[in-house]
Amino acid sequence: QTPKLLKRLFLFSYASAAPNNTDGRNQTVMFDTLEDWRDELERTKGNVKYRTVTTNEGYRVSEKLPLYFVVPICISEESILKYEGRGIPIWCWSCHNGAALLKMSAFPKEQDDSTSQMQKAFLDGIYKTICKPPYELLKMDDLSSSLPSLQDIQTAYTRFKQLFFIDNSTDFWATDVKWFSLLESTNWLEIIRRVLKKAIEVAECLERQHTNVLLIEESATDLCCVISSLVQVMMDSYSRTKSGFQSLIQKEWVVGGHGFLERCNHLRKSEKEEAPIFLLLLNCVWQLVQQYPPAFEFTETYLTVLSDSLYVPVFSTFFFNSQHQRDTSASGESLKTQSGPFRFLTVWDWSVQFDPKAQAFLNNPFYAEKPKPDKSQRKTARFKHQRQLSLPLTQPKPSTKRGFFREETDHLIKNILGKRIGKFINSSDEPPNSFREFYESWHSKPVDYHGLLLPRIDGPEIKVWAQRYLRWIPEAQLHGGGTIAITAKILDLMEEVQSLQVKMDEEHSQAVSGDVHSISTPRNSARLSSLFPFALLQRQSVKPALPTSTWKDLEDEDDLVKRDDEFVDLSGDM
């Protein structure tokens, strides 16, 4: 049954009976104390120009703001109290060069003249206080006018989801031949591209122009959260670790006041406020993860289970609109039960959902860990990166195989790679020359996986998050292929090298006595699905709705995965 009241959600029942022996924090900074904010300021070297304020203790300023937050030193307490926190630049993050990323909730647009004049004068005073050229430069960016509206995002995602509601094999193969057209018509990938482009523009201001950036939005809890989080993932290597990314979500989204309850429509009251804003962030982060895997401590599987956790009513992390709503709900239930402190569980304790073996899939074994600074060597070797565009036209041997992401026809390829990619690259909203120069200059150099990361956003570089959206479609699985097959093979080799090293050490230590045993290392490699670990390791072959002679030959086979590796032409003889 769909709960219509907040306290009828299962998380309230579960929290009252949840065990108290779980590690809720799990190295994740929760940003629910003054010390957490001060430590973050010190970590980013932002404590010179910014300070943590306690003005909102008891939520006397606003119930939408967190208990503690950071503002420029020059902002007075009276200014914060005047308009319930509106019009106040709130600190998000400081760059290594001193430039800072700020956000601000705007005043309502429909106001009477006298009120508008007072608010305008107030904002002018705030701007003059924090913008002091040439020493302190400030760029303001109204995200409500430069990015798609929440309604546009919801509409695009609704269309996008429909592509994956496939009931049978016949529907799959019927939509496969017009996949690219259907995908482009949803506009979801274009929205992801625009959001990533906006994040790059902000990164350019902070990194190259040394300019403070003030993100403005009506509530500063939706698109502000997306852009500020993306900028920090791109510019701060700490946010690319698992604990750092989780701390970032806590700071910008959970404590920052994103309305998860309304945006995810957990109570199913109204669809007017529903919008997949947090999923939009995860889709954008996934683009970075699949473009630069060694830069992230977590995997795409981590992002997938995190997106699933958005709807798991066991944790409180993604089920409240604000810190105030969460605190009042917890305190009210504690008085009601009178059985000790009422304790909501946090999603960051992954042991609640997964055993240690399953949690291993969340960690990236190829993560290029940041080396400890060596004072004797200032300049360290930088990682080299292969910059190879995955355009279908540039494949050395075009395959004649037809599949979910394969070529459809020669004519369609020309259409896709000609008109549509040209449309993406030369669109009217193309960034100015300074942006293009910054973008191309960065991509012409080797990547430092612990420095600035800029996503590739031109044309088909923006991809579909296959693991999340295709995992329940058997026909889209590729057994013994995909990135998981490469990963599994490399892990096997790494394990074998480590095993051989151990054996060599044992031989060296036993060489005197001559007690050396022969080493046998039989390896039984499973045929993993490309959508592993969500898809089954093996499944029965599914006959498509294509009367091909190839599939007639395969009908006698019990299981495709038992066959030797071979090329299967799904196009067949029509």
Section 201-225 average pLDDT: 96
Where does 236-295 have alpha helices with state H? Answer: 242-249, 260-263, 277-291
Instruction: Choose the weakest-confidence range: 312-316, 404-408, 535-539, 555-559.
Output: 404-408
pLDDT attached to residue 530: 78
- Of 451, 440, 442, 96, nearest to 295 by C-alpha is 451
pLDDT attached to residue 423: 39
Tokens of 532: 């592993």
The counts of H helices and E strands in the chain are 22, 6
Distances, alpha carbon 169 to alpha carbons 183, 477, 556, in Å: 19, 13, 19
Instruction: Choose the weakest-confidence range: 40-54, 143-157, 513-527.
Output: 513-527
Task: Give the up-direction half-sphere exposure of residue 267: CA atoms within 13 A in the CB hemisphere.
Answer: 16
Residue 256 phi, psi (nearest 5) = -65, -15
| Residue scoring higher pLDDT (558 or 173) | 173
What is the distance, to the nearest Å, from the Cα of residue 276 to the centroid of all Cα atoms in its chain?
A: 12
Q: Band of the pLDDT at 94, cuts 50, 70, 90?
A: very high
Residue 76 burial (C-beta neighbours within 10 Å; 0-12, 13-18, 19+):
exposed
Where does 272-380 have alpha helices with state H? Answer: 277-291, 300-309, 323-337, 356-359
**201 pLDDT higher than 80:** yes
**555 pLDDT higher than 90:** no
pLDDT attached to residue 574: 42
DSSP state, 298? B
Section 10-30 average pLDDT: 73
**437 pLDDT higher than 80:** yes
b/e map 124-141, b = 16+ CB within 10 Å: eebeebbbeeeebebbeb
Section 408-435 average pLDDT: 45
Whole-model pTM over 0.85: no
* Distance from C-alpha of 469 to C-alpha of 182, rounded to nearest angstrom: 15
* Distance from C-alpha of 114 to C-alpha of 126, rounded to nearest angstrom: 19
pLDDT attached to residue 23: 54
Tokens of 335: 């008085």
pLDDT digits (tens, 9 = 90+) for 301-357: 999 999 999 998 888 999 999 999 999 888 765 555 555 556 788 999 999 899 988
- Of 282, 276, 239, 250, nearest to 346 by C-alpha is 250
Within 10 Å of residue 566's Cβ, how many Cβ atoms? 5
pLDDT attached to residue 419: 37
Tokens of 237: 């290597």
Tokens of 536: 């089954």
Tokens of 476: 């889209």
pLDDT attached to residue 336: 58
DSSP state, 50? E
pLDDT digits (tens, 9 = 90+) for 97-133: 999 999 999 998 878 888 899 999 999 999 998 898 8
Distances, alpha carbon 51 to alpha carbons 42, 90, 109, 210, in Å: 10, 10, 30, 20
* Distance from C-alpha of 279 to C-alpha of 150, rounded to nearest angstrom: 13
DSSP codes of every residue in 162-204: HTT---SHHHHHHHHTTHHHHHHHH-HHHHHHHHHHHHHHHHH
DSSP codes of every residue in 53-103: E-TTGGGSS-SSS-SSEEEETT--HHHHHHTTTTT--EEEEE-TTS-EEEE
DSSP state, 394? G
pLDDT attached to residue 340: 56
DSSP state, 20? S
Distances, alpha carbon 343 to alpha carbons 247, 405, 474, in Å: 20, 46, 40
**16 pLDDT higher than 60:** yes
Q: Band of the pLDDT at 481, cuts 50, 70, 90?
A: confident
Spatial neighbors of 58 by CB under 8 A, at least 6 apart, are: none
